[in-house]
């Protein structure tokens, strides 16, 4: 089970053989089980090195540092392992490229329309006209040339979709 550990003494935090050691001012060595540490709160004057930070990062341990008076100074937060810098760069590139951005917007809207139609087709007799109107508007997505036009199409589709709820409610 992961636990929080607090360090109130002055000393040195270091890594040795994939273990965290704390040496206090009297050179008394205490080990901290890195596999059981969730957060490390440091209130004392503590020296540390990048080797320790690498170990904390590998085990997703956050280290919160407080100043001499006990006020929060900052946090060492390990990088999120699931987020790729390459992915963020590619997402930004797609946003800046109008054609790619329009393509993604169309795919999002196409998915939303699919689910809207799936919802209201359950009530065939009462929503048949709304389904037809939504399908007609959805056909216009292919010819949309910019985001604003696509947003207008989406607005009309959603208007028909939400109006169909009045018919469904009477069921």
pLDDT in tens, 143-153: 999 999 999 99
Question: Residue 170 pLDDT > 80, yes or no?
Answer: no
Please give the pLDDT value at position 82.
Answer: 65
Find the domain containing 47 and state its range: 3-76
Spatial separation of the C-alpha atoms in residues 38 and 34, rounded to whole Å: 8
Same domain assignment for residues 71 and 118:
no
CA atoms within 13 A on the CB side of 18: 4
Question: What is the pLDDT averaged over residues 87-93?
Answer: 85
pLDDT digits (tens, 9 = 90+) for 7-16: 998 999 988 8
Q: How many domains does the chain have?
A: 2
pLDDT tier at 159, thresholds 50, 70, 90: very high
Spatial separation of the C-alpha atoms in residues 166 and 58, rounded to whole Å: 54
Measure Cα distances from 157 to 70, 107, 112 in Å: 56, 15, 10
Same domain assignment for residues 23 and 53:
yes
pLDDT digits (tens, 9 = 90+) for 45-85: 999 988 889 999 988 899 999 988 889 999 998 877 666 77
Same domain assignment for residues 49 and 113:
no
| Selection from 153, 71, 58 nearest residue 113 by Cα | 153
Spatial separation of the C-alpha atoms in residues 21 and 37, rounded to whole Å: 13
Q: What is the CATH number of the domain that holds 21?
A: 3.100.10.20
Using the 3D structure, point to which of 13, 46, 76 is the last residue of a domain.
76
Using the 3D structure, point to which of 76, 105, 140 is the last residue of a domain.
76
Question: Residue 2 pLDDT > 90, yes or no?
Answer: no
Spatial separation of the C-alpha atoms in residues 11 and 16, rounded to whole Å: 16
């Amino acid at each position: 089970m992961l636990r929080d550990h607090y360090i109130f003494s002055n000393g040195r935090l270091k890594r040795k053989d994939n273990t965290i050691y704390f040496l206090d001012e009297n050179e008394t060595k205490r080990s901290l089980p890195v596999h059981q540490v969730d957060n490390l709160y440091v209130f004392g004057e503590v020296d540390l090195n990048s080797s320790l930070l690498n170990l904390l990062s590998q085990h997703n341990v956050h280290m919160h540092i407080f100043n001499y008076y006990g006020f929060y100074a900052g946090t060492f937060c390990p990088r999120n392992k699931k987020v790729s810098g390459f992915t963020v760069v590619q997402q930004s590139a797609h946003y800046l490229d109008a054609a790619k951005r329009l393509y993604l917007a169309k795919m999002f809207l196409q998915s939303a329309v699919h689910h809207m139609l799936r919802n209201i087709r359950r009530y065939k007799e009462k929503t048949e006209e709304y389904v037809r109107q939504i399908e007609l508007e959805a056909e216009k997505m292919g010819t949309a040339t910019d985001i604003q036009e696509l947003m207008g199409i989406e607005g009309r589709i959603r208007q028909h979709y939400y109006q169909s709820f009045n018919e469904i409610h009477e069921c």
